[in-house]
Amino acid sequence: MSLIKYFWFIRAMLNRIRFGKIGNYSYMGKPLFLLGTKKIKIGNRVRIYPGLRMEAHGEHGGITIKDNVSIGQNFHVTSKDIELIIGENTTISGNVFITNIDHEYREIDRHIMEQPFLISETTIGNNCFIGYGVGIQAGTILGKQCVVGANSVVRGVFPDYCVIAGVPAKIIRKYNPLTMEWEKHNL
């Protein structure tokens, strides 16, 4: 382990008293912006590179990052009132945003930030790969082993074993268990 990662590891161990859970061999690089840490659970072998912004708002829910997850720089994740889950063995590239919060906007002449939040379940399945610059919006459910192309904007429910990309993101390939091939998906 490099000297810098060693210090990140020591910081994670010291943060154990602030968080709901931080597992073994997990580390976080500075700078960090953390809110609601008692509602944040980080599994074993979670590697988070510098620029983390993690916010757990509200009385309930929180953020759970399961075991063996690697997260690139400048990761921003927000959750309110229901649990946002990132599945085990997932890789998240840099500059990614994941949330379960939308802002209401329909009240004319009222600032959006003064309108209520809209909360929707958001879950990233096991063994997923999230490309660079992806935005995962509230209400997104990714099945296991999904691949999300760089700079995609994702909202919706996506089955296991698919490749999604675009703005808005759509399925472009799916794994066919009969042919054992990743096949183009008819759009």
- Structural domain harbouring 169: 3-184
Q: Which two tokens stand for residue 9?
A: 């590891």
| pLDDT exceeds cutoff 80 at 187 | no
* Residue 61: how many other CB atoms lie within 10 Å: 19
Q: Closest Cα partner for 149 from 125, 120, 173, 127? A: 173
Q: Which residues contact 175 (CB under 8 A, 6 or more apart)?
A: 145, 160, 161, 162, 181, 182, 183
Strand-pair category, 169-176 with 162-166 = antiparallel
- Average pLDDT over the chain, rounded to an integer: 92
CATH number at residue 176: 2.160.10.10
pLDDT 10s digits, 127-142: 999 999 999 999 999 9
Instruction: Report the length, in residues, of the chain.
Output: 187
Task: Please state, for a pLDDT cut of 70, what percent of the chain lies above it.
Answer: 98
- For the chain, the domain total comes to 1
Residue 150, pLDDT > 80, answer: yes
Give which of 32, 3, 161, 1 is closest to 12, Cα–Cα: 32
* Percentage of the chain exceeding pLDDT 90: 73
Of the listed ranges 41-45, 64-68, 82-86, 107-111, the least confidently predicted one is 107-111
Residue 129 burial by Cβ neighbours in a 10 Å radius (0-12, 13-18, 19+): middle
pLDDT at 1: 58
